[in-house]
Amino acid sequence: MSWLNTELSLGNIGVIAGVVVALTLLYSSIVYVPNNRVGVLERLWAGKGSVKRGLVALGGEAGYVPELLRGGFHLLFPFQYRVHKVDLVTVPQGEIGYVFARDGKALEAGQSLAGNSNADDFESVREFLAADGQKGPQRKVLREGVYAINIAQFVVLTRANTYAVALAKSDTDTIESMRAQIEARGGFHPVVIGEQSAQGLRVTDPGAKEARTVNDVIGIVTVHDGPGLPAGELIAPAVGADRSMAATYHNNFQDADRFLAAGGFRGRQYQVLVDGTYYVNRLFASVEFIEKTLVPMGTVGVVVSFIGKRGTDRSGVEYQHGELVGDGERGVWEAPMLPGKYAFNRFAGAIAKVPTTNFILKWESGQSGSDFDRNLKEISLITKDAFEPTLPLSVVVHIDYKKAAKVIQRFGDVQKLVEQTLDPMVSAYFKNTAQTKTLIELLQQRADIQGQALADMKGKFAAYNLELQEVLIGTPKSPAGNSQIENILAQLRDRQVAREQIETYEQQEAAAVKERTLREAAAVAAQQKGLTESRIAIEIAENKGLAEVKTQTRQGEADAAKIRNVAMADAERIKAIGAANANRIELEGEATARAAHKQVEAYGGPEIRLAQEISAQITRAIAEGKLPVVPQILVGGDGKGSNAIEAITAMILATGQQFRQAKSTTVQ
């Protein structure tokens, strides 16, 4: 009996053990996976042995099974599998998920990310590996949604989670390093440009010292995968922008494989991202932001392109300061950007802004008329009379927008044009002018100097493709610590005050004269009745006088006519008497002449008569003077006793002879 009881007890134990074994086998064979999770199946042993390459067992080897266990009950061979129940991969809305493949083909030399042009199905490990999918970080990203992904083969990174079956520590370190790189580039969120970025974006402009926060920006893309740029190139050219070419249209770098298929290069890209939302893999391409280029009203932007092919010179044969090229070519573009806002990649070129409205350059310390004269100061002069004033000056300049490119090609920018060319040229001109003027002339002839300067410098400005509009000269000033010019100005003011006083006195004198005239007029007005009566009386008297004068005039004319008639009669009578007297005198003269002729014939010629008259006068003189007839002393003579009478007689005769000869000569 006891034996039987013992046998029954052992049987119960065996049954129980069998039940336990059966339940254990059943428990290890049946796996339940919730619908919100998946099972990653790890085969622990297999008749084919372990996987020879990688970690995914595609041929039934021991290793990770490519297929997942989805929600529900699953019957497995007991003790052959380990099931890793994991959450479905969830990428929240507005975020990006990154995939890292642990198994697949190795990346090629120079390749940074695994291509997904053929192998892009991350929910099927078998198809991914069959399509020669590559291991490593993938170019394709996951958009928002829920994915049943085998996280033993694919590690998925989202902003909040890392979906992966833990392997070696080194694998974990690699994944965390990738996460840090993505976070540094803001890669878990799409690139948002425009109004959706209300908080503003940090921008870094070329050459800026620090970033700024602005809203109106563009995205500059730097690709980190693909072939390198050709030698001599700085910016990768734009590719794959044609929507009609589906195989190469990468839709603003959102499809990395199509970008590379279009011939894209790694490096900073010429194509930019404008307003919008872009799901860009930040491991493939990072994005930095720069402010849009604004060309304000009144200016144009001259583009200096760093990329493009070499173009044909469009500046003309007369321009010898550089070449101008067409749009898209390397160099200075001939056509400037007109006012507006542009999505211009300033890493691919520079824009020099040139004012097209009139701008003022002030040569005056502490004063500024534009953005280009902040370093200008008054011009130091030396006048003809050795004064040393400083001259403040303003110049109005205009640049034709069609010539803006030539100005930039020649000088680099307007600031250099002003400081390196216009400043020394204008200063030298006014220094030369001042040396020909005294200080007073410099002050008093300001308008003439200003007009002459405008005429002289217009041609010089035109040689630099500028238009000089106006030259405005200020008042010369003394150097610091010197008041000579102020003293001269004070003297000039004193002179002017004296002139004004003189004019004031003259005006006062004229006013006094006017006052006297006014008073006289008032007095005349007070006696106006008497003046009127006296004036009428005077007019009556004048009229009577005129009447009497007219009467007397008529009487005088009649008397004059009578007198004229009498005078004419007297004149005729006198004329007749005169003619008779003349006739009588003529007859008497003829008679006298005949008588004289007879006397000559009788007594000799005129010389004899003259001698006789002289002798008679001498005789009267001797008689009246009681002179001795015979001189006491006789000088000369022939010694024969010639007396004075004979000498005198001879002298008289000689005189007559000379008279006769003279008369004869005169007649001839």
Q: What is the pLDDT of residues 70-114, one digit of tens each?
A: 989 988 888 888 999 999 999 999 999 999 999 999 999 889 999
pLDDT of residue 220: 95
Residue pair 132/119 in contact (Cβ under 8 Å)? The answer is: yes
Residue 210's pLDDT band (cuts 50, 70, 90): low
Give pLDDT tens digits for 23-68.
666 666 788 999 999 999 999 988 888 888 888 998 889 989 999 9
From the list 655, 561, 640, 570, the residue with the least C-alpha distance to 609 is 655
What burial letters (b/e) apply to 386-422, b meaning 16+ CB within 10 Å? ebbbbbbbbbbbbbebebbbbbbbbbeebeebbbebb
pLDDT of residue 97: 96
- At 660 the three-state DSSP class reads helix
Give pLDDT tens digits for 353-374.
999 999 999 998 888 888 888 8
On the question of pLDDT at 203 being above 60, the answer is no
Give pLDDT tens digits for 51-60.
888 889 988 8
Residue that the structure tokens 């199946």 belong to: 41
Residue pair 55/102 in contact (Cβ under 8 Å)? The answer is: yes
More confident residue, 630 or 409: 409
The string of DSSP codes covering 64-89 is EEEEEE-SEEEE--TTTEEEEEEEPE
384-390: average pLDDT: 87
Residue 16's pLDDT band (cuts 50, 70, 90): confident
Give the Cα separation of 200 and 183 in Å (integer).
18
What are the backbone dihedrals phi and psi of residue 226, each rounded to the nearest 5 degrees, phi first?
A: 105, 180
- Which H helix or E strand runs over 507? helix 484-526
Indicate yes or no: pTM above 0.95: no
Structure tokens at 374: 């902040």
On the question of pLDDT at 472 being above 60, the answer is yes
Give pLDDT tens digits for 131-170.
999 999 999 999 999 999 999 999 999 999 999 998 877 7
* Domains in the chain, CATH or no CATH each: 2-86 (no CATH), 90-291 (no CATH), 299-482 (3.30.479.30), 613-667 (no CATH)
